[in-house]
Chains A and B, each alone.
Chain A
């Protein structure tokens, strides 16, 4: 079964850091583009970042560029999102997701990040 299991969310103060993890099972992450999407409470979906199959090219929304870093570890078959200089407006449910164009596609269960003092 193709599955993504997320971990690492929680409460953090403004200016703090947090790392989200997304462990894949049932498929090899190096065969797919991988993406982080977030959803603020009561709001729509927002694309955050994507890493390509080769793990070399990364892409970011302007709202997180320079503060967030997407990466992966092929040995652990896992995707990560390092979030620094967090702001209140980063408060959201964060989801990892596999390649949108592939017949094989899934999302993680979501991980809540709350930025508040």
Chain B
């Protein structure tokens, strides 16, 4: 099974900050990696797919990148509405596995 180690588990940042969230896969997963944003009581929303493709309608301040088994979600300039929990998901092989989540708060 591919384990996804997501970090940090929680963080606080200010409006305008550059924020980076990382998922590390325990073994190769290609670029079959998705990033989701979930706000309390809401359905998860896909931000990034195949590691670096931006979902239509998602602000361009969100971006995804990867190198080897490390995947990164970057928010270039944090906005108040970005307060949420973020999850990565590898869908390269079964069982599909999510990261543990990163709770992002705005200072």
Which A residues lie at the B interface, using CB under 8 A? 35, 37, 44-47, 50, 59, 61-62, 95, 100-103, 105, 107-110
Q: A101 near B98 (CB under 8 angstroms)?
A: no
Query: CB < 8 Å: which of B32, B87, B97, B100 contacts A101?
Result: B32
Stretch in B16-24, B43-51, B74-82 with 4+ CB within 8 Å of A: B43-51
Neighbouring B residues of A62 by C-beta, 8 Å: 95
**Complex Cα spacing A62 to B99, Å:** 17
Contact partner of B98 (CB less than 8 A), chosen from A47, A107, A108, is: A47
Query: Interface of B with A (CB < 8 Å)?
Result: 32, 34, 36, 38, 43-44, 46, 49-50, 53, 55-56, 87, 89, 91, 94-101
What's the Cα separation between A46 and B98 when bound, in Å? 7
Which residues of chain A come closer than 8 Å to B32, judged between CB atoms? 100-101
Would you call A101 and B91 a contact (CB within 8 A)? yes
Q: Are A35 and B100 in contact (CB under 8 A)?
A: no
Mostly, the A contact residues are loop
Are the CB atoms of A47 and B43 closer together than 8 Å? Answer: no
> Which of B50, B56, B100 has a CB less than 8 Å from the CB of A44?
B100
Bound Cα distance A45, B87 (Å) = 8
List 9 interface pairs A-B (beta carbons < 8 Å), by A numbering. Answer: A44-B87, A45-B101, A47-B96, A50-B94, A50-B96, A100-B32, A105-B46, A105-B49, A110-B43
| Bound Cα distance from A47 to B94, whole angstroms | 10
CB of B91 within 8 A of CB of A107, answer: no
Q: Do A59 and B94 touch (CB < 8 A)?
A: yes
Q: A100-B91, A105-B46 in contact; A35/B101 too (CB < 8 A)?
A: no
